[in-house]
Amino acid sequence: MPENLAKSLGKSLIEGKTEPVPKNHLHDPKVWDAYRKAWAAGWRPAPIMKPIVIGEGTIVESPQHLRDLVGAAAVPEVMNTKTTFEWEEIDEPVRDIKLCLLDLVEWDKLTKIAELEDGPLIAYLEGAIRQSYRVSALKLSTLTQLNNEAETGRTMN
């Protein structure tokens, strides 16, 4: 068998075994049309919220303190939930925990002024498991700004 024919046959066998790449539903015009119609009818997706631990190993002691840090118009609502684990091998006890939820705008402000670390996994809405976050420290630039504001009487924002 000539070499070119062998290569051609081998190539066709390999190509025949490859599976087609699944079509991404976001590329489907029908999906976008349905989304536009729902949007026009007043539907809005739920906002993305980030759970921030209050108290317990964080410098944020209260919802009012968190509001002051991010400059929010209202005090964030406190959410009581429990810690959880995805693996049964972990022997840590489940405990109660208090959180405040921040939207992405407030989250962005918090990431600019504070050092964040992963908090415990939490039982979230409708049984989902989510990562929570702890504010471990304020960034040095924030502390300097807060000190300057205290001296001048002006506020951050």
Taking the C-alpha atoms of residue 133 and residue 50, their distance in angstroms, rounded to an integer, is: 8
Residue with tokens 């002691």: 61
What confidence score (pLDDT) does residue 27 get?
78
Say which amino acid occupies 100. C
Give me Rg for the CA atoms of the chain: 25
**Tens digits of residue pLDDT in 52-81:** 989 877 889 999 999 988 888 889 888 888
pTM exceeds cut of 0.75: no
What confidence score (pLDDT) does residue 41 get?
95
Helix axes 63-70 and 104-113, enclosed angle (nearest 10)? 80
Which parts of the chain sit beneath pLDDT 50?
A: 1
What confidence score (pLDDT) does residue 102 get?
92
Q: Residue 97: phi, psi to the nearest 5?
A: -145, 150
